[in-house]
Structure 1
């Protein structure tokens, strides 16, 4: 029975990932998610409490998977940025859901909103601590705070995944070239 419950929960998360990626939280419909998962709306409310709770679970899952698949390496931040870029290329839904999260969830001030970002806050705090330790050891430059440096590295890693189509059309490099630009930009950022 527990295996069935986990399988149902997993199918709902997969279906919700596709739905939220395509339509965001406001545009997503629990009936479409349930149908795509071969389940029903009652299961969504049973496992996740609400559509917001389901979105939070999807977002948390994405954060956990990305953090696990692409752990930070403070001794190779250019390589880390390249691996993040690769993961976003392989899983375009990540940046789409992150964009919907920024648009629809940031700054809510509600307990649900704070719960929604806890996983990313924890992930970012650990990364900032690792960068700060490397800065204290002299392995990374300290012209920016650890949080600022992390923000710069993360933004550079997403540049090709978050740009507007009009700029994207002007920068038609191969996937390998785009990755090389990300890695080189972070390398130059660290070199000053």
Structure 2
């Protein structure tokens, strides 16, 4: 029986994504990842070099998913923040892995992510030059603010979420839109 290397890699990435979301890079265990992927530890090392290499593959998949799923419309920056917030709500492992990446692996930069930040910031700069977007913030700062506003509910502690009722998805989306609108006006 011929093995399907791509299917094995996809299963390892999916299992790694779940493990890293739950435990971070340092707390993740390759034996749990291999078992969840119906594979073995040797395959992780063969395809990804080590656990950090698998984390990088997971991180790359998340960056690609965000880029593909949430385009930036300079004429609707609040919609961008709300759509990104929706993506985080739909995939709660994303904000967790984003946080783990920053905490444990922040020295490893994803080239696609850096290129997208620059490209989207340049789009905002063009919108500012055309008078369609406020110049209150530099374009890179405004983009960073929008990205972080989108993760507001995913990053908030339980006490805040108890006081600010955002259990209703429509309400949480509208609040993100309103916050982003204030930043972009």
Shift of 1:118: 2.2
Shift of 1:128: 1.0
Counterpart check, 1:16 vs 2:10:
no
Counterpart residue number, 2:158: 165
Shift of 1:3: 7.8
1:125-175 deviation digits (Å, cap 9, x = unpaired): 111111111111211111211110001111111111101111111112322
Residues 83, 2 of structure 1: CA spacing in aligned structure 2 closer, same or farther, 3 A cutoff?
farther
Residues 177, 3 of structure 1: CA spacing in aligned structure 2 closer, same or farther, 3 A cutoff?
farther
Q: TM-score, normalised by structure 1?
A: 0.91
What is the DSSP-based 3-state SS (H/G/I as helix, E as strand, rest coil) of the residue aligned with 1:143? coil
Shift of 1:186: 1.1
Shift of 1:53: 0.6
Counterpart residue number, 1:187: 181
Q: TM-score, normalised by structure 2?
A: 0.95
* Aligned-pair Cα RMSD in Å: 1.5
Counterpart residue number, 2:126: 133
Say how many residue pairs are matched.
184
Which consecutive unaligned segments of at least 5 residues does structure 2 have?
A: none
Counterpart residue number, 1:25: 25
Residues 132, 3 of structure 1: CA spacing in aligned structure 2 closer, same or farther, 3 A cutoff?
farther
Counterpart residue number, 1:37: 37
What is the DSSP-based 3-state SS (H/G/I as helix, E as strand, rest coil) of the residue aligned with 1:11? helix
Counterpart check, 1:124 vs 2:120:
no
Higher alpha-carbon deviation: 5-14 or 119-128 = 119-128
Counterpart check, 1:178 vs 2:172:
yes
Shift of 1:123: 1.7
CA distance in 2, matches of 1:98, 1:92: 10
CA distance in 1, matches of 2:182, 2:176: 10
Residues 172, 46 of structure 1: CA spacing in aligned structure 2 closer, same or farther, 3 A cutoff?
same
Which consecutive unaligned segments of at least 5 residues does structure 1 have?
A: none
CA distance in 2, matches of 1:98, 1:119: 15
CA distance in 2, matches of 1:2, 1:153: 47
